[in-house]
Structure 1
Amino acid sequence: MEQFTKTLFLCLALSLTNGAPAPPDDAPVVDGDANADLPKRCDGLEFDATTLDDNGKTLYFKGAHLWNDYHGPAKLSNDLFKELDDMHGIGHVDAAFRMQHEDHYHTYFFLDDKVFNYHNHTLEDGYPKDISEEFPGVPAHLDAAVECPKGECMENSVLFFKGHDVHVYDISTKTVKTKTWDHLPVCTSALRWLEHYYCFHGHNFTRFHPVSGEMSAGVYPKDARRYFMNCPFFGHGGDTKPVKCSEIKIDAITTDDAGKTYFFAGPMYMRLDTQRDGLHAFPITRGWKEVTSGVDAVFSYAEKLYLIKGDQVYIYKSAAHYTLIEGYPKTLKEELGIEGLVDAAFVCNNDHKLHVIQGKKVLEVDLTATPRVVTQDLPLPFVDIDAATCGPEGINLFKGSQYYHYESPMLMAMSRIAPVPQAVTSAMLGCQD
């Protein structure tokens, strides 16, 4: 990977991750002393509640105020949610969580013994309600709450925290089971983010398992200011601007069997199906710790993710967290019957045929065969493809900030003239148009 590409993607990573560069919270106030008395989250505050909103921005509550996303000054909570009015005695937000209703999200706020249900910052009819009416068996004056969908919990549930007790509310049966997690710090707020669960306490956070409460010994707590907000002298910092789509270059892209779409560039990767949780770039080693120097190509097949680097193939089980299959990596020759370096690779849905791009040719490999061998060697009407993916709308071959589209593998194989290139857009890769 060229240094230019590494630097470029690092700019993208910094612009989209939790440590996104922005004016620090303690920067001089432009409009005089108007905001002089606002709380400063970078002072190490303990939040009353945290949650994602409908659009994937994180809300942090403290007293009568909230912060909307990772940077910027505090504002009154009722500026965004007018019914949450501390000035009229309702009280500060004790707990909050976001839950999906069909194809949209609702955000719930808990204040004393009341619950407020918002959609697009508008209070739903009939709210606020008593907590006991909306969530029977759940106590009032909560410390924290977080949603837990089926697959991560046994059933679609909400975890309600009060002291060391965790009240697990089953959404379908409206029943509660109470656990005691003495090993976990008392959570003053909680957050589910990219299928991980975080307990905030003081200015620190601890990641935990939503079923057992288990946490990684010796790893936590960590300072939230390094991960969940932009603060001077914490996290990445810097003066980086979002990368433009006209400048983007990726190494590989794929969608796994669970519908999660990943793209890779240099030492980083990003999940593209998480717009409602925000687009965030991470080191590749965070998800695939054995792959330490980037990837050349990736593809998904039979609930496994294949990462190719040089002449090595790494195969991971596509469970909740990827696990390298014993005996890997293996060479391209051993695993796929291919020699030489790979530019890109893809498998279409419900197909057993792997398409490998090398220079100006496409090799087809039958993934059901043992051993695997190349079955076809087809020409490609251009060279230097960076990445490729196949989805319901066809095939996209990426080359720099442009891509070539084919409606099917058959049309790609038959084509002798390159289609008109199209520009990568922000909707595709989260860059800036």
Structure 2
Amino acid sequence: MGRPAAALCLAWALALGCAHPLTHSKPEGAGGAGDPHGAEPPGNDTALAQLCADGGDFDAATFSENGTLLLFRGDRVWEVPLGGSRPHSRPIAAVWPELGGPVDAALRLHRPHSPAEQRSLLLFQGERVWAYAGGRLQPGFPRRIEEEFPGVPGALDAAVECPRGDCGGDAVLFFSGDRVFVFDVALRVTKPRAWPALGACGAALRWLGRFYCLRGTRFRRFRPRAGDAPGEPRDLRDFFIPCPGRGHGLGNASWGDAGDRCSETPFQALLSDDTGRVFAFRGNLSFRLDSWQDGQHPWPVGQTWPGLDGPVDAAFAWDGRTYLIQGSQVSVFLSDRGHQRVQGYPRPLLDELGVPRADAAFTCPGSAQLYVITGDRIQLVDLSQSPRRAGPPLPLPHDRVDSAMCTRDGVFVLRGPALHRYPGPAQLLAAPQPAPPEPGAPRLLRCPHTGTDTDTGTTDTN
């Protein structure tokens, strides 16, 4: 994604908690929304005019396997390509010939631990459901909805996935009139819910951890745990669809290089939390790194962590909480409750962790050991102890560090645009010199790599 595209954002819209325009680039070699051959007709003005017209409700909405926005209406599907180019429209029967006809609801499954279901596209029609992967109908489908999702009725209005970080456990939300049915994926049971504040949804979307209820060309953001919908309805054409003369074309140029994930502006903090979400912080902005299929857009930190403002110097997660360090203060948020700030914070970092400041900090999965980096030294803090006290400063192979995090793939250290990776904390502490540098943006942010000497590829930072 180029710098102009990366900056396409409405600052006032973000302040209201609404969606960010679709401006990310299509991964190389990605196919179309559902065509097994990946054929994608060029966008055209007619399709865009039809999509931008106030033509009534969309029957369904979701994202394809490669992150293309799909909007269904009647016997056609509109595909809003990645990268902000013009949408195109095709008959549903031309994309999914086994299905044909209108679609009642649609959703994209994300199952990292179930390869057979990972990134499957489910389309609902009447009493049956079709499952596609790689553009091909999966064996055993179509099936009755009741067989695949016991307790869920047919003739649905909308459906959307709700991962454990948003719903407490992996779930799928089904909408039928003013009724909501929550299907527990692990237990395979369905529980009805009453969300009168939300009302009926003609279609539903989950994008970058936010949930949207669509009615006509309007949408409302809702919170699946509470079932409420704070804020006023907004227009899809100002956020998700590149309609001429509307909000999609207005950028927030004031962010500059900070809003361009692929610029060489250093990240001040990295965070891999207990729910599998990965964030990078730069200035007053944060990026989601694990949801690359839906783009890696900047958000003001206060949008994700309410009440927080300004740069984050260091971040780490432990025991269902995320710790965000700003200067000599630390704020603590509950990772599985929509990043709700714990009462009594922020408080002095010295009182919380026994250190006066931090340039970077990280914990590794399943460990209570915190590693705090200041300058060219690292200190260990046992988070399970009270009061917490920092151990003696130990030398680092780096003279300074901008940010660091630890995942199951190892320890990632960023210094400027360079990434240094270590198998684990022990190897970092024992290293006589820094690990060979790699371009950080291509590795962590899936940015184009312009170098010719090293093929950095990508890494899974979930």
- Category of TM-score, reference length = shorter chain: 0.7 to 0.9
Give CA-to-partner distance per residue, 1:337-393, whole Å, 9 cap, x none: 223x43211223344333222222223334344443332112334334210112334
Question: Is contact 1:159-1:167 (8 Å) kept?
Answer: yes
Query: What CA distance in whole angstroms lies between the structure 2 residues aligned with 1:388 and 1:22?
Result: 25
Name the stretch that deviates more: 249-258 or 98-107: 98-107
Partner of 1:259: 276
Question: Is contact 2:156-2:175 (8 Å) kept?
Answer: yes
1:233 aligns with 2:233: no
Structure 2 matches for 1:96-245, cutoff 5 A? 96-100=106-110, 102-103=114-115, 104-129=118-143, 131=145, 139-149=153-163, 157-168=171-182, 181-210=195-224, 213-216=227-230, 219-231=231-243, 232-235=245-248, 237-238=250-251, 243=260, 245=262
Question: Is contact 1:20-1:237 (8 Å) kept?
Answer: no
Query: What CA distance in whole angstroms lies between the structure 1 residues aligned with 2:50 and 2:58?
Result: 11
Shift of 1:58: 2.5
Give CA-to-partner distance per residue, 1:91-115, whole Å, 9 cap, x none: 3222212235622132222234543
Question: Is contact 1:404-1:420 (8 Å) kept?
Answer: yes
Give CA-to-partner distance per residue, 1:296-319, whole Å, 9 cap, x none: 111122322111111111122222
Shift of 1:135: 5.4
Shift of 1:280: 3.3
C-alpha spacing 1:362/1:153, structure 2 compared with 1 (3 Å): closer
Output the aligned Cα RMSD.
Answer: 3.6
* Counterpart residue identity of residue 82, structure 1: P
* Counterpart residue identity of residue 60, structure 2: A
Question: Is contact 1:166-1:181 (8 Å) kept?
Answer: yes
Shift of 1:204: 1.2
Question: Which structure has the larger Rg over C-alpha atoms?
Answer: 1
Gaps of 5+ in 2: 10-18, 26-40, 450-462
**Aligned with residue 299 of structure 2, among 275, 278, 282:** 282
1:19 aligns with 2:21: yes
Shift of 1:194: 4.1
Partner of 2:52: 42
1:297 aligns with 2:310: no
Shift of 1:53: 2.2
C-alpha spacing 1:74/1:394, structure 2 compared with 1 (3 Å): closer
Q: Which has the higher contact order (CA 8 A, sep 6+)?
A: 1
Question: Is contact 2:24-2:295 (8 Å) kept?
Answer: no
**Aligned with residue 428 of structure 1, among 441, 444, 450:** 444
Partner of 1:27: none
Shift of 1:195: 4.4
Partner of 1:3: none
Question: Is contact 2:60-2:158 (8 Å) kept?
Answer: yes
Partner of 1:307: 324
Query: What CA distance in whole angstroms lies between the structure 2 residues aligned with 1:400 and 1:159?
Result: 42
C-alpha spacing 1:203/1:396, structure 2 compared with 1 (3 Å): same
Name the stretch that deviates more: 230-239 or 420-429: 230-239
Partner of 1:395: 411
SS at match of 1:412: helix
SS at match of 2:247: coil
Name the stretch that deviates more: 408-417 or 46-55: 408-417
Query: What CA distance in whole angstroms lies between the structure 1 residues aligned with 2:89 and 2:190?
Result: 35
Question: Is contact 1:354-1:364 (8 Å) kept?
Answer: yes
For these two proteins, the number of residue pairs brought into alignment is 410
* Counterpart residue identity of residue 433, structure 2: I
Gaps of 5+ in 1: 1-7, 24-30, 86-90
Query: What CA distance in whole angstroms lies between the structure 1 residues aligned with 2:431 and 2:109?
Result: 47
SS at match of 1:413: helix
Question: Is contact 1:144-1:161 (8 Å) kept?
Answer: yes
Shift of 1:425: 4.4
Give CA-to-partner distance per residue, 1:93-140, whole Å, 9 cap, x none: 222122356221322222345432212211224544555665576555
Query: What CA distance in whole angstroms lies between the structure 2 residues aligned with 1:201 and 1:235?
Result: 19
SS at match of 1:305: strand
Question: Is contact 1:317-1:324 (8 Å) kept?
Answer: yes
TM-score (norm 2): 0.76
* Counterpart residue identity of residue 95, structure 1: A
Shift of 1:402: 0.5
Query: What CA distance in whole angstroms lies between the structure 2 residues aligned with 1:414 and 1:169?
Result: 48
Name the stretch that deviates more: 323-332 or 120-129: 120-129
Partner of 1:28: none
C-alpha spacing 1:411/1:135, structure 2 compared with 1 (3 Å): closer
* Counterpart residue identity of residue 58, structure 2: F
C-alpha spacing 1:308/1:156, structure 2 compared with 1 (3 Å): closer
Question: Is contact 1:12-1:431 (8 Å) kept?
Answer: no
Name the stretch that deviates more: 407-416 or 163-172: 163-172
Query: What CA distance in whole angstroms lies between the structure 2 residues aligned with 1:143 and 1:59?
Result: 16
TM-score (norm 1): 0.80
Structure 2 matches for 1:89-100, cutoff 5 A? 91-100=101-110
